[in-house]
Every structure is written in structure tokens, then in C-alpha cells.
Amino acid sequence: MAANCSSPRPCVHQAATVLANDQLAERTWRLRLQCPEVAALAQPGQFFMVRLPGRTDPLLGRPFALYDTVLDAGGALIGLEIVHLVVGKVTTLLSGLKPGDPVEIWGPLGTCFPEVPAHVKRVTLVAGGIGQTPFLAYTRELLGRRGFGGAAPHKVVDKVELVYGARRQSLLAGLDAFVEAGAIELPCTEDGSLGLKGRVTDGLDTCDKPEWIVACGPDPMLHAVARWARERSVPCHVSLETPMACGLGICFSCVVKVASGEQASGWDYQRVCIEGPTFDAASLVELNQ
């Protein structure tokens, strides 16, 4: 597995350059940035704050998960990729960037995905909406296809399954990349336009019982997946898409309630940007109500 990324963790602020900006699906774009110093530290599960320089509107950066790292023709690490859905001012501006345009990036931030126990040979990734974005690099890492954060490639599991759901086929992004990385895909669409007609929990019902689940997507999906896993006694971790302002743990705008035996209430606040973004689903109070 990758090097440990518990606190304290290095964080680099770098002026990056756009290498490419491609549309992957409906309202979904992949931004490739030249930023070798940041990319060299990045591990799957972590995120970055990205900001457009020279602007006061929008003033703050926005968080984006590591989608993949970028290698040059000789195999040298030169940058990273983020994938985003166009939903507001920042993502609209990002979708219009051209090669050579400048971007500010700082990170990596947050913790990487938790270590998979040695007895687990199959990891099931569950994504909804734009929730597939942390999982491409993770797939490569788990299957030993690429090392991250300075670690050499090391095969962790034999199989990675991706259960990936969206309302319709046109919103599913990056399916070919996951196949190339070695994942076994099970796409799910609510309208039946591709793969299984239904939601990701319907997709989970068709799989062999998962050994280890990691999920990312909208809150209602995470509630459903956490409940599905709890009812079947399957370990489940969730990567949260919580909005945040600073990404550095200063503003406390991204807190979640986490079970704690040290508090009379039975829970305490933790920051998604510092203690997360990935949590054991069983520890999140709101996922267990």
C-alpha cells in the first residue's frame, strides 16, 4: 500500500499550467495540470484546492479529488488530473480553460484511503454522480499498476469492482479509463440506458458479497450504501463530498458528527478536510440514524 498519510502531511502551493481540458461526459470535464511538486506527494483519497489566479470573484478555491497522475512519454511524473461536474461559477470557468492557462493549486490535503486488510482480496468501489473521481488512481494503486506519493507500485488486491451509477448513460464519465486500469465495471442507470436499470444498491445486489466497500457520491446514496453494508456486516468506508472553504482545517465549515466514547453526547465533530475526507461509515452519526 502507499506510504502512510496521517498528520502531519506536506502541502505544496504551486502555480500550475493547464496541459489539456477535455469533456468526458455530459457537463463533466477532465482538467490535466502540470504541477510535478504537488503530484509527487499525492495519494488516492486525497484532494486539492484549485483557484483561478488574479480573480476576486470567485475568491476562494474549490476542492477536487485526485483523479489520476500524469506521466510524460518517458514515464516521469509531471502533473495530475481532476474531473469535475459543471454546476456553478468556478466549474463553469474551469471548463473553459485552454492549454497554457494558469491555475493555482495547493495540496495534497486530507487523508488517503484506509489500508485494506491483508485478508481482503476484492475491493468494491461504489460511485454515484461525480463520485467516481477519487477511484481511478485508487484502482491503479490497488492493482499495483502505479505507485503514488513516492511509493513503488505494489499489488494489494486481486480484483477491483466499480459499481457506478447515474441518472442516464450520458452522465457516466471515464468508463474506458477504469477498464484500462483493470477494474471490473458494473454501470447502473436509473433510466436503463446503460448497464443495470436501477441504483447502485441494486448493482450491489447482483455482485458476490463484497469484502470491503469504499463509496463516494451524493449523501442519499451514501446513506443507502452504508445501510446496505451494515445489514450485511460488510466493512464500508465513505469519501465525503462536503463543501469547504479553506481545505486546511481553519474555518471549521466542513465538520461532520463522528461517534466518540469520550464525549457525553456520544459524538464529536471532525473536519472533513483534515480527518477525512474518507471515514468509516459506521462512525458517522448521520449515516447511522
The yes-or-no verdict on residue 134 having pLDDT over 90 is yes
Question: Quick one: which H or E segment has residue 267?
Answer: strand 267-271
- pLDDT tens-digit series, residues 51-80: 999 888 888 889 999 999 999 999 999 999
The pLDDT confidence band at residue 9, using thresholds 50, 70 and 90, is low
Give the pairing type, strands 47-51 and 102-109.
antiparallel
pLDDT, one tens digit per residue, over 79-92 is 999 999 999 999 99
Mean pLDDT over 119-147 rounds to: 97
Sign of the dihedral through C-alpha 22, 23, 27, 30: negative
The pLDDT, as a whole number, for residue 55 is 85
Classify residue 89 by burial, with Cβ atoms within 10 Å: 0-12, 13-18, 19+: exposed
pLDDT in tens, 204-227: 999 999 999 999 999 999 999 999
CA distance 185 to 187: 6
User: Which domains, ranges and CATH numbers included, belong to the chain?
Assistant: 12-109 (2.40.30.10)
pLDDT at 15 over 50: yes
**b/e per residue, 187-214, with b = 16+ CB within 10 A?**
bbbeeeebbbeebbbebbeeeeebbbbb
Percentage of the chain exceeding pLDDT 70: 97
| Consecutive H or E run containing 50 | strand 47-51
* Whether this model's pTM surpasses 0.85: yes
Query: What's the pLDDT at 1?
Result: 44
Strands (DSSP E) contained in 99-224 are 102-109, 122-128, 159-166, 184-189, 196-197, 213-216
Q: What is the mean pLDDT of the chain?
A: 94
